Structure formats: structure tokens, C-alpha cells
Amino acid sequence: MTRHVLPPEMHAAAPARVPTSDVGAWRLRRLLDAGFPPPLAAQLAATPGVDLHALLGLVDRGCPPELAARILAPIDEASDEP
């Protein structure tokens, strides 16, 4: 049995947002079909700035879904850290 661990930056204080649009539902289905765990897939599908095609490309090349999400996590533009 595979145990899925969310990367720390993917944890949210509030429950994961559920997509309400057809596009959001399509994104969620594609992520689930690619092997993303449901909570991570829901969060990624509903997060603006997440490049779905890049995520799926990494997974297609053998990258674990959690690592692909960490690699392509949107950078917080409000952050002043280098």
C-alpha cells in the first residue's frame, strides 16, 4: 500500500478547495487519473498558476506526483525572501 505524504507547502489551513467549474473538474479528473492523491489533486486543480501540462509531463517521465507538485509549486510573488 502506498502512503501519500503531501509536501509541506501544499498543506492548507483550510480544507482543499473543490473546483466548481467544468475546467476545474476536468483538471481534477486528469490529476486523479495520473495518480495524484485526491487531496493534492483537488488543491492543484483549484490553484491558479499551476501548469497542469507540466505536472502531467513530469509524472509521465516517472516523477512521483508529490515531487512533481513540489517542483512546479507556484512561487509566492509576495514573498521578500531570496
Q: What is the mean pLDDT of residues 14-34?
A: 79
Q: How confident is the model at residue 30 (pLDDT cuts 50, 70, 90)?
A: very high
pLDDT above 80 (res 18): no
**DSSP states of the chain:** -PPP---GGG--SSPPPPP-SHHHHHHHHHHHHTT--HHHHHHHHHSTT--HHHHHHHHHTT--HHHHHHHTPPP-TT----
Average predicted confidence (pLDDT) for the chain = 79
Domain ranges within the chain, ordered by starting residue: 20-71
pLDDT above 90 (res 79): no
